[in-house]
Amino acid sequence: MTLRRWLVVGLVGAGCLAWSPGVALAQSGWAVDFGGERSAVTDHDVESIWSTVRFQLGYVNEQKGGLFGGVERQERYDLVDVSVYALGYRRLGDWTIAGGVGGTPDADFLYRVSANVELSRRVVGSLVVSAGYRYMDFPGAIVHQIQPAVTWYHGRSEVGGRLFVTRNTTADRTSFAGLATALVEVHPRVRLYGAFAVGDRIFDVTSFVSGAANSWVARGTVRIRITAGNYLEFGGGVAHEDPSFDQTTLIAGYRRSF
């Protein structure tokens, strides 16, 4: 059993909300998000419960961009890491530039420092291509990550794909993973989101021993507007990494927009 540092899952889930699919469907104004996850994990026959609680405050101007700040608490194997982050994006015609920073004091399994930047451009119609870079300083490893991506927006829905090229300079090794996402507003009150990631070492980016560790993650959520400005979100996910890591997750959240 090892302390696993996630490679892709932060983008599959809600840990980095400003970067998650759905920015095109965001409404102008302030919003507060509060949510959590609870996972049953089996790692080399060791069973445990992982939990995550997060809070985020954000402001979006549909024509100009948005700013977000948040705090996230994660607990694994009786260890607790608390991270803080700030993110933002700015629209400049057909171009969008985004970036963010994060930190975890006294980190055990999360990054100590994270910084990322992404440049996007609408190339034709509603097709957008992106190029991103992320730096992560984990306990025991320095990680650089290149993220080319493409997203197609259509009415009240969007479909996206992203490639993760990850270089662990401490271990002198490169891994690859892909992420596919889909979002659709099936009703003015109901929004569905799904994501699937597959690749090498999605869950264990810093423990690079010889050989591959094939991994996959599938997650989905439904967001329901209860009243004007009040939303509830529910969902779940499953994941596996060779040779013996399995995870089942329940997701719940609340959003208040102003």
pLDDT greater than 80 at residue 26: no
CB 7 within 8 A of CB 16: no
Q: 190-203, pLDDT tens digit by residue?
A: 999 999 999 987 77
Which residues does 140 contact at the CB level (< 8 Å), separation at least 6? Answer: 170, 206
The first and second tokens of residue 137, run together, are 């300083």
For residue 31, the model assigns a pLDDT of 94
pLDDT band at 13 (very low <50, low <70, confident <90, very high): very low
Strand partners, 222: 192, 234
Model pTM above 0.85? yes
Average pLDDT (91-100) is: 94
What proportion of the chain, given as a percentage, has pLDDT over 90? Answer: 67
9-257: CATH, from 3.30.540.10, 3.40.640.10, 3.20.20.140, 2.40.160.40 = 2.40.160.40
Cα distances from 112 to residues 26, 44, 195, 198, in angstroms, run 30, 26, 26, 25
CB 256 within 8 A of CB 29: no
For residue 1, the model assigns a pLDDT of 45
Every domain of the chain and the residues it spans: 9-257
